[in-house]
Structure 1
Amino acid sequence: PGRQTLLLIVIATLVIPFQLLVIPIFLVLKWGHLLNTYWALILPTAVNGFGIFLLRQYFLTIPVELEESAALDGANRWQILWQIMLPLAKPALITLFLFTFIGEWNDLFKPLVFTTKAELKTVQLVLAEFQEQFTSGWSLLMAAVVISSIPVIGLFLIGQKQFIRGIATTGIKN
Structure 2
Amino acid sequence: MVLKWGHLLNTYGALILPTAVNGFGIFLLRQYFLTIPVELEEAAMLDGANRWQVLWQVMLPLARPALVTLFLFTFIGEWNDLFKPLVFTTRPELRTVQLVLTQFQEQFTSSWPLLMAAVVIGTVPVVLLFLAGQRQFIRGIAATGIKN
- Work out whether the TM-score is over 0.5: yes
- The TM-score bracket by the shorter chain reads over 0.9
Q: Which residue of 2 aligns with 1:59?
A: 33
Paired amino acid for 1:69: A
Q: Which residue of 2 aligns with 1:148?
A: 122
Q: Which one of 70, 93, 100 corresponds to residue 119 of structure 1?
A: 93
What's the TM-score, normalizing by structure 2? 0.97
Gaps of 5+ in 1: 1-26
Q: Which residue of 1 aligns with 2:13?
A: 39
Q: Which moved more, 1:136-145 or 1:73-82?
A: 136-145
Q: Which has the higher contact order (CA 8 A, sep 6+)?
A: 2
Aligned-pair identity in percent equals 84
Contact 2:104/2:110 (CA < 8 Å) preserved in 1?
no
Contact 2:104/2:115 (CA < 8 Å) preserved in 1?
yes
After TM superposition, the structure 1 = structure 2 runs for residues 85-96 of structure 1, keeping only pairs within 5 Å, are: 85-96=59-70
What is the alpha-carbon distance in structure 1 between the residues aligned to residue 16 and residue 33 of structure 2? Answer: 25
Gaps of 5+ in 2: none
- Per-residue CA deviations over 1:70-104 (Å, capped at 9, x if unaligned) read 00000000000000000000000000000000000
After TM superposition, the structure 1 = structure 2 runs for residues 8-19 of structure 1, keeping only pairs within 5 Å, are: none
What is the alpha-carbon distance in structure 2 between the residues aligned to residue 115 and residue 134 of structure 1? Answer: 26
What's the TM-score, normalizing by structure 1? 0.83
**Structure showing the higher helix proportion among its residues:** 1
